[in-house]
Amino acid sequence: MKVEQISIFLENKSGRLADVTEVLAKADINIRALSLADTTDFGILRLIVNDTEKAKRVLKENEFTVGKTEVIAIEVTDKPGGLAQILSIIHKEGLNVEYMYAFLEKHEKKAIIIFRFDDLEKAIEILKNAGIGILKGEHVYSI
């Protein structure tokens, strides 16, 4: 049920994002979802890719600082209130969303949103019990 995400720490200067995407492109790695957050001095680029281990390896070989985190990919009804339903379930159970971002494609007419929770195992259990679809990592990487 978990999805591996890589996080790349980037200096906040022109061209660094282009450098990452060029390294991944040369290694034939496809970006499936992404999020970029920045501060004054650095940014954190979070990626779901089709080959996490290869992406980590080639980025490290090119002197990027890379980490790996587990997240989950949740199917969200693609209509007004779809996300509110998920967040309401999470709120009632006292879970905290650390961050989230949208996936680039739909899955079976549903939106996919990547979530990082403060308690990933509890979130999976709660969402499964509520009948919310959670995609397996292997499936997410291949979309």
Query: Tens digits of per-residue pLDDT, 37-74?
Result: 887 788 999 999 999 999 999 999 999 999 999 999 99
Q: Which of 35, 33, 41, 31 is nearest to 10 (CA)?
A: 41
110, 77 in Cβ contact below 8 A? yes
pLDDT digits (tens, 9 = 90+) for 22-37: 999 999 999 999 999 8
Give me the residue label for tokens 């990547």: 114
Distance of CA 138 to the CA centre of its chain: 14
Superfamily for 2-70? Answer: VC0802-like (3.30.2130.10)
Residue 13 has pLDDT above 90, yes or no: no
Q: pTM for this one?
A: 0.85
Fold of 71-142: VC0802-like (3.30.2130)
State residue 113's pLDDT score: 87
State residue 110's pLDDT score: 82
pLDDT digits (tens, 9 = 90+) for 68-113: 999 999 999 888 999 999 999 999 999 999 999 987 666 677 888 8
Q: Where are the domains of the chain?
A: 2-70, 71-142
Q: Name beta bridge partners: 115.
A: 72, 100
For residue 132, give every residue at least 6 positions away whose Cβ sits within 8 Å of its Cβ, in sequence order, or none: 74, 75, 86, 89
81/77 Cα distance (integer angstroms): 8
